[in-house]
Structure 1
Amino acid sequence: MRRTGTTRRGALTATGAIAMGAVLAGCGGDDGRAGPEKSARPGARTAADRSPAEVSLRAAARSVSTALFAQYEAVVAAHPETAAGLTPLRDAVRAHITALGPGDTLGLVRTRPGTGGAGAAVRELAAAERRAAASHTEALMKAPPELARLLASVAAAASAHAYLLTALAKETKA
């Protein structure tokens, strides 16, 4: 008789899809309109209104996320079999970089994947996501409210990514 019901893989996939939907919905917000007719949140500050400390915090958080994005790129390039599992997470990290502010640093950071197999590379990514979550959490303590909310969201997403990557590493051949 065939087994029916929820499997661990199905539950993780559903959880990941829900988490990614929530993260991407939170990071989005561009309704496609441009110019003066685009409505901004009441009380939202523009880049010119930011203090030097906030600009510095944003740049540091963007740098952490950019390094993480580069690590995803390196792992996908070195282990193409991981692309299906890593691409949605990598795309979410790209959205976080965009949400943290302007800059053209996506192509500037280069990393090399570890010497191990695909499973080890995914485990290294999980550890990098944990470090990114810790860095964003630490930064939000010094951030103004609007940036603190964004950093909290990005840190939560990084923690969710670390969880999903840990599960993916167990399923990936070592």
Structure 2
Amino acid sequence: MRRTGTTRRGALTATGALALGAVLTGCGGDDGATGGGRPARAVPERTERTLRERAVRDGALLLARYDLVAGAHPATAAGLAPLRAAVAEHGRALAPPRAEDAPEKGAPKDAPPADPGPVPADPKAAVKELATAERRRADAHAEALLTAGPELARLLASVAAAAAAHAYLLTELAEETAA
């Protein structure tokens, strides 16, 4: 009997298609136009840097959460490792380019991420919390698309799609995890 509903393969295929569509939508000539012939909107460099810094900071907090859950519940470590590695890659891709000059006056230099908080004693609950954090990350990146320039928007769309896939996979992992 064939299983009905969403499968992992179906979710990953849909996520990949969305990410590919986001990337391909922005591909075109060097005429400075986006899809539909509209001129690319200029986004201040400061806005782009702020969006990137926020994404990297949130990603660092999520990485710390992954580490805490894997440390507290070693049985989940193997399932979390590839997702954690992807989150680390997203952080490297989103990192703002290093400016030759010093940071602006009063701007913190690589501020440490906030404390990720305690980990639930139940491994299933801990993995579900990670799924919730990935959903929040997907939503935050999708919201940031509204103010990002075309290049950063494509990257954020791709990372948001990956975060949504992570949330799904973590939800499935939580169901498979013994309490």
For the aligned residues, what is the CA RMSD? 3.3
Contact between 1:133 and 1:156, CA under 8 Å: does it hold in 2? yes
Q: Does 1:93 align with 2:87?
A: yes
1:74 is paired with a residue whose SS is helix
Distance in 1 separating the partners of 2:175 and 2:116: 23
Distance in 2 separating the partners of 1:173 and 1:72: 18
User: What corresponds to 2:37 in structure 1?
Assistant: none
2:120 is paired with a residue whose SS is coil
Q: Does 1:57 align with 2:51?
A: yes
1:121 to 115, 126, 142: 126
Q: Identity of paired residues, percent? A: 49
Q: Which runs of 5+ in 2 are unaligned?
A: 21-28, 31-43, 99-108
Contact between 2:61 and 2:113, CA under 8 Å: does it hold in 1? no
Distance in 2 separating the partners of 1:113 and 1:87: 20
Superposed displacement of residue 111, structure 1: 2.4
User: What letter is aligned with 1:74?
Assistant: L
Going from structure 1 to structure 2, the CA distance change for 1:128 and 1:149 (only over 3 Å counts) comes to: same
Contact between 1:19 and 1:160, CA under 8 Å: does it hold in 2? no
Distance in 2 separating the partners of 1:16 and 1:69: 23
User: What corresponds to 2:158 in structure 1?
Assistant: 153
Alignment TM-score, normalising by the size of structure 2: 0.68
Superposed displacement of residue 114, structure 1: 2.6
User: What letter is aligned with 1:164?
Assistant: L
Q: Does 1:141 align with 2:135?
A: no
Distance in 2 separating the partners of 1:127 and 1:114: 13
User: What letter is aligned with 1:78?
Assistant: A
TM-superposition CA deviations, 1:79-112 (whole Å, max 9, x none): 1110110000000000000001158969755424
Greater relative CO, 1 or 2 (CA 8 Å, sep 6+): 2
User: What letter is aligned with 2:120?
Assistant: T
Worse-matched range after superposition: 127-136 or 59-68: 59-68
Distance in 2 separating the partners of 1:154 and 1:90: 13
2:121 is paired with a residue whose SS is coil
Going from structure 1 to structure 2, the CA distance change for 1:60 and 1:66 (only over 3 Å counts) comes to: same
Distance in 2 separating the partners of 1:6 and 1:118: 30
Superposed displacement of residue 115, structure 1: 2.8
Contact between 1:72 and 1:125, CA under 8 Å: does it hold in 2? yes
1:163 to 138, 147, 168: 168
User: What letter is aligned with 1:111?
Assistant: P
User: What corresponds to 1:32 in structure 2?
Assistant: none
Alignment TM-score, normalising by the size of structure 1: 0.70
Task: Please state which structure has a larger fraction of its residues in helix.
Answer: 1
